[in-house]
A = this chain, B = another copy of it.
Amino acid sequence: MDDADFALIQRLADATGDAIRPFFRARFEVETKADASPVTQADRAAEAAIRAILEKERPGDGIIGEEYGVVREDAARLWVIDPIDGTRAFLAGRPLFGTLIALLEEDRPVLGIIDQPIARERWIGATGRQTLFNGTPATTRACSTLAGAHLGTTGPYLFPAEDQPRFDRLRGQVRDTIWGGDCHNYGLVASGHIDLVVEANLQLYDFAALVPVVEGAGGRMTDWQGRPLGRESDGRVIAAGDPSLIEAAVGVLLA
């Protein structure tokens, strides 16, 4: 990951925003995938826009995308794409969905972007760099106790059956919970407006971009056992603005 990648990921997000905006709040047919997640023309147009640029400018890199699958999956550098994270929010006309793009090296996310093309909010994070929100440094806030923590999570029933009571236990110990938000919640952690996000059942393309954003702002992301996130992770994630919250959250989730 170098300055050229850091510049490229922003051009990728510019391209997806251009592809997505015409479809926002337009009426169109909604397909239903096997997992009941709606998928839209916007999703496909956005991912196609990214792939066209990557195939031209980084022909040796691998790509994993939600819509169009995997190419060169054994490449040392792997771009991981979720063109519209929060498809339900998108379909509902809520400007809180986001495009997620990550670069993995040795199966670890080293560069990531969360881009909200309607509200024009963009977080970029990279290993060893300060996270930027719309070009300005973003910093998480201190909050070392669950009792003081403001938690965000997309929905109450998105957890696998065995995880539901674990999450509910955690929710019972935080100060309050805000619902909905998808990837935007992780940006709010990076900018120090909420303290904690706990989710499960995520795919690699749902969380890879979030890690450099949250960690480059001073926070920490792990799985529910406190381990770093990477290609092998199981889809359970914790994002904490204050790294010391991770241990407390893991303690409750594993109790």
Give the interface of A toward B (CB within 8 A). Answer: 25, 27, 36, 88-89, 91-96, 118-119, 141, 150, 152, 154-157, 176-181, 184, 188, 191-194
Contact = CB atoms under 8 A, between A and B. Distances in A.
A89 B178 contact: yes
B36 A88 contact: no
B177 A180 contact: no
A155 B118 CA distance: 24
A39 B96 CA distance: 23
A160 to B, nearest CB: 17
A193 B88 CA distance: 11
Contact of A119 (B95, B176, B180): B95
Question: Would you call the interface of chain A mostly helix, strand, loop, or mixed?
Answer: loop
B94 A188 contact: yes
Contact of A193 (B91, B96, B184): B91
B93 A95 contact: no
A36 B92 CA distance: 29
Contact of A176 (B88, B150, B177, B179): B88
Given A94-B188, A119-B95, A156 B178 contact: no
Contacts of A95: 95, 119
A170 to B, nearest CB: 14
Given A27-B141, A95-B119, A178-B180, 4 more contacts: A93-B194, A96-B96, A155-B177, A156-B179
20 contacts: A27-B192, A88-B150, A88-B176, A91-B150, A92-B178, A93-B188, A93-B191, A93-B193, A94-B178, A94-B181, A95-B95, A95-B119, A96-B96, A118-B119, A155-B177, A156-B156, A156-B157, A156-B179, A178-B180, A180-B181
Contacts of A93: 188, 191, 193-194
A177 B158 CA distance: 11
Contacts of A155: 177, 179
Contacts of A118: 119
